[in-house]
Chain A
Amino acid sequence: MPARFGPARMSLTILFGSMVILAACAAPNKLLVLEWSGYDEPDFWTDFKTANPDTAVTFEPGSSDADVLAKMEAGSQADIFHFYTGWQQFYVDAGLVKEIDTSKLTNWDKVPQSFKDLGKVDGKQYYLPWDWGFTSILYNTDKVTEVTSWDALFDDAYTGHISMWDDGPSAVTVSSYVHGWDETAITDEQLAQAEQEWKDQKALNFHYWTDEYADLCPDFEGGDIWLAYAWQGCYATILYSESQPVAYANPAEGRNSWVGLYGISSKTANYDLALQFLDMKLATLTCSNAVTIFYYGCANQEVMDGIEDPVLIQAFGIDDPSILDSTNFTPPVTEAQRTAWTEMWGRVKAE
């Protein structure tokens, strides 16, 4: 006698049927990229799109390096993920990343060795370097006297017109520059001192910015912000718009520099397609778009060497051959340090 097909079973069948259909959607001509918001713009992957018009590329948003790592750890189905220097080791330790077969990359020889090295862990090439830039202090030259140190962020002469990035590890980095501490070996006492200083600094801010183009640049251009922790993208934006007289500091402690890296998930079923996506990220048009539309540096050195626009030359410091000598590249830090620094920032914001 056949079993009765009751309502509960019918409901479960519908539920599991839906799950099977969803699973079937993970077809091999699809790529899922765990990406910082804004980078999903087609200009940022135009060469791949042209070469693979039938491939559906979807983006899962990541709001920070920590968020990208947390999502990968939580089992994200992303084939590719994007993060910034300082986080390379974590993915390798957790077995989340697959080594990159650079022999299959047609644009690999255009990447400087120093950038390639940033993508290596234990001598293996796990990551592909792509975007890069500076962090320094952006200031309105009509309102602020020449900035020569990172401690300008703590200057109460500009109360209500300063804007710090909403990021704990970056706050600790600034404190380490100001006090000359070793960023990779911050002690508990130093962290407590930094916490108190940032608590005292809190009232000086117009706001803590979270998005370079959504709140930092518009508020700087509108005249509310006079002095900010900023990337060169906002600097170039304001140079182009000529909305405010602006300068990008060369602090005595040195600027900071960051490099964006792409990794391929160890769980991906689309390794070759993911590899092609990364290769096409380094292609000329895609890299040029990153430079000319979004004002980020790109790891394709041929593109960087071809920059002739005076604003971009100024923004990237290309006219200053010594700029990199005094630049601090973001070092890797441990899990415990990052946890302590983000908790410190949570206490600062809640104060």
Chain B
Amino acid sequence: MLGRRGSLRFLTVPPFAWLIVLFILPLLLAILVSFRGERGPIDFGSLLQLSTLQYGKILDTPSWLRLLGTSAAMALVVAAGATLLAFPIAYFLAFRARHRAPIFLILLLVPAATSFLLRVMAWKLLLGGSGAINTFLIWIGVVHEPIGLLLYSQAAVIITLIYVWIPFAALPIYAALQRVERSHLEAAADLGSGPWSRFWRVTVPLSLPGVLATFFMVFIPTVGEYVTPFLVGGTEGFMYGLLIQDFFSRAGNWPLGSALAVIMLVVTIGLVTIALRLVNLRRALA
């Protein structure tokens, strides 16, 4: 029989082992590989021959650093857009849907049950030169040639990413709104506060932890996003994550790809740290 402590260990060792083997070690390996001089067979001996060559190349290439800035800015727009659009949905689920909330919640998550790739491809069919929107516009005579700007642009990437994130962004906000004590709202109403005042001075502040969590949940992975820009970005919607992917899979240059990834990791952590300082998270969560 396993004791209480034994049971705890039995339960925690596998996930920790999983995390160490499949997250911590690959991350350390990526950092080690990023300090390799040139690409080539990876063996233990060559990993220990450290060089800053790849980091030097990156710092000497302003276009790559600019691309990281552009990608962070795009991620900011996507995170803000997805959070803002998800808030009314979460609000409706928490305060208006009542007993139908579970049904609406399922409906919200139905698109997520289909493949991410499929949903992005659907946008391609919708926005493409021979897609639904262009075909309709030509049919009603508004345009004679397909509008090319709808697809393969930065805007297409941002619109698609916001769409993809909304269902997931609504969940933490919904959870936060559910925790808002109804008695607080009743007390505010009793003290003469109107609906807007209650919303801005009670509901929003109390839901802020969920809103902030949502924002960073969207922002952090979007900086390194590569599937969506790959499918709908074209030459104009290219993002930093695609550059990393290119060096790993298309160029086979793992040292440079790793160095680019490490820089993105450091910059993203830095940006999130600064943002958390600015919004004073402790106060927001208090």
Using a CB–CB cutoff of 8 Å, the interface residues on chain A facing chain B are 6-8, 10-12, 14-15, 63-70, 73-75, 94, 160, 166-168, 202-203, 205-208, 210, 219, 222-224, 335, 338-339, 342-343, 345-347, 349-351
Q: Report the separation of the CA atoms of residues A6 and B9 in the bound assembly, to the nearest whole angstrom.
A: 9
In contact, B14 and A224 (Cβ under 8 angstroms): no
- B244-263 CB contacts (< 8 Å) to partner A: 246-254, 256
Please report the C-alpha to C-alpha distance between residue A345 and residue B230 in the assembled complex, in whole angstroms: 16
Instruction: Give 17 A-B pairs besides A64-B251, A335-B39 with Cβ atoms closer than 8 angstroms.
Output: A7-B13, A10-B10, A63-B250, A67-B249, A70-B248, A74-B254, A94-B40, A94-B41, A207-B234, A208-B235, A224-B129, A339-B39, A342-B246, A343-B256, A346-B251, A347-B63, A349-B238
Residue in contact with B64 in the complex, picked from A69, A73, A347, CB distance below 8 Å: A347
A7-B9, A350-B238, A350-B243 known; A224+B148 contact, CB < 8 A:
yes
A343 and B250 in contact (CB under 8 A), knowing A70-B39, A206-B152, A224-B148?
Answer: no
Distance A186 CA – B85 CA, assembled complex (angstroms) = 52
Q: How far is the CA of A11 from the CA of B9 in the complex (A)?
A: 9
Q: Give complex CA distance A65, B251 in Å.
A: 8
- Going nearest first, the 7 A-B pairs with the smallest beta carbon separation are A66-B252, A70-B252, A342-B251, A7-B10, A224-B129, A11-B13, A222-B130
The winner among B234, B246, B249, B254 for most chain A CB atoms within 10 A is: B246
Max count, chain A CB within 10 A of own CB: residue among B6, B41, B130, B146: B41
Report B's interface with A, CB cutoff 8 A: 2, 6-7, 9-10, 13-14, 17, 38-42, 57, 61, 63-64, 66-67, 128-130, 146, 148, 152, 230, 234-235, 238, 242-243, 246-254, 256
Q: Give bound CA distance, A111 to B130, whole Å.
A: 43
- A-B contact list, 26 entries, CB within 8 Å: A6-B6, A7-B2, A7-B6, A7-B10, A8-B13, A10-B10, A11-B13, A63-B249, A63-B250, A64-B249, A66-B249, A70-B252, A94-B41, A160-B148, A206-B152, A207-B234, A223-B129, A339-B253, A343-B251, A345-B251, A346-B246, A347-B63, A347-B64, A349-B235, A349-B243, A350-B66
Known contacts A7-B2, A70-B252, A343-B256; A224/B38 CB under 8 A: no
Q: Within the complex, which residue of A15, A68, A207, A338 is in contact with B152, where a contact is CB–CB below 8 Å?
A: A207
Distance of A294 from chain B, by nearest CB (Å)? 22
Q: How far is the CB of B221 from chain A (nearest CB, A)?
A: 20
Bound form: Cα–Cα A7–B146 in Å: 65
Known A350-B64, A350-B67; judge A342-B250 contact (CB<8 A). yes
Residue ID in chain A nearest B3 by CB atoms:
A7
B39 / chain A contacts, CB cutoff of 8 Å:
70, 335, 339
Tell me the smallest distance from the CB of A76 to a CB of chain B, in Å.
12
- For residue B171, give the distance in angstroms from its CB to the closest CB of chain A: 32
Summarize B's interface: helix, strand, loop or mixed.
helix
**Bound CA–CA A222/B67 (angstroms):** 31
Tell me, in angstroms, the Cα distance from A307 to B111 when the chains sit together.
47
Interchain CB contact under 8 A, A346 and B64: yes
A350→B243 CA distance, assembly (Å)? 8
B224 to chain A, nearest CB (A): 15
Which one of A14, A70, A208, A223 lies within 8 Å of B254 (CB-CB)? Answer: A70
Contact A206 B234 (CB under 8 A): yes
Give A208 to B152 CA distance when docked, in angstroms. Answer: 10
Chain B residue with the shortest CB-CB distance to A61? B249
Q: What is the bound-complex CA distance between A255 and B143, given in angstroms?
A: 38
Known: A7-B2, A7-B9, A11-B14. A346 touches B247 (CB 8 A): yes
Contacts of B243 in A (CB 8 A): 346, 349-350
Q: Give A339 to B255 CA distance when docked, in angstroms.
A: 11
Q: How far is the CA of A236 from the CA of B248 in the complex (A)?
A: 32
Q: Min CB distance, B200 to chain A, in Å?
A: 42
Contact B128 A224 (CB under 8 A): yes
Residues of A within 8 A of B64 (CB): 346-347, 350
CA distance A64 to B245 in the complex (A): 12
- Among A8, A69, A70, A205, the residue within 8 A (CB) of B9 is A8
Q: Which residue of A lies closest to B57 (CB)?
A: A343
Q: How far is the CB of A244 from chain B (nearest CB, A)?
A: 12
Instruction: Report Cα–Cα, A74/B252, bound state, in Å.
Output: 11
Q: Give the residue name and chain of the B residue nearest to A72 (CB).
A: B41
Q: A7-B9, A15-B17 are in contact. Are A167 and B129 (CB under 8 A)?
A: no
Residues of A contacting B40 in the complex (Cβ-Cβ under 8 angstroms): 73, 94, 335
Contacts of B67 in A (CB 8 A): 350
How distant is the Cα of A210 from the Cα of B234 in the complex, in angstroms? 11
Residue from the list B6, B9, B148, B252 in contact with A67, Cβ < 8 A? B252
State A69–B64 Cα separation when bound (angstroms).
25
Closest to A10 in B: B10
Interface centre among B128, B235, B243, B253 (most CB of A within 10 A): B235
In the assembled complex, which residues on chain B have CB atoms less than 8 Å from the CB atom of A15? 14, 17
A339, B14: Cβ atoms under 8 Å?
A: no
CB distance from B48 to the nearest CB of A (A): 17
A66 with B250: CB separation less than 8 A: yes
Measured between beta carbons, the chain B residues less than 8 angstroms from A69 are 252
A346 to B58 CA separation, bound complex (whole angstroms): 11
Q: Is the CB–CB distance between B38 and A206 below 8 Å? A: no
Q: CB-nearest residue of chain B relative to A71? A: B252
Give A210 to B250 CA distance when docked, in angstroms: 10
CB-defined contacts of A168 to chain B, threshold 8 Å: 251
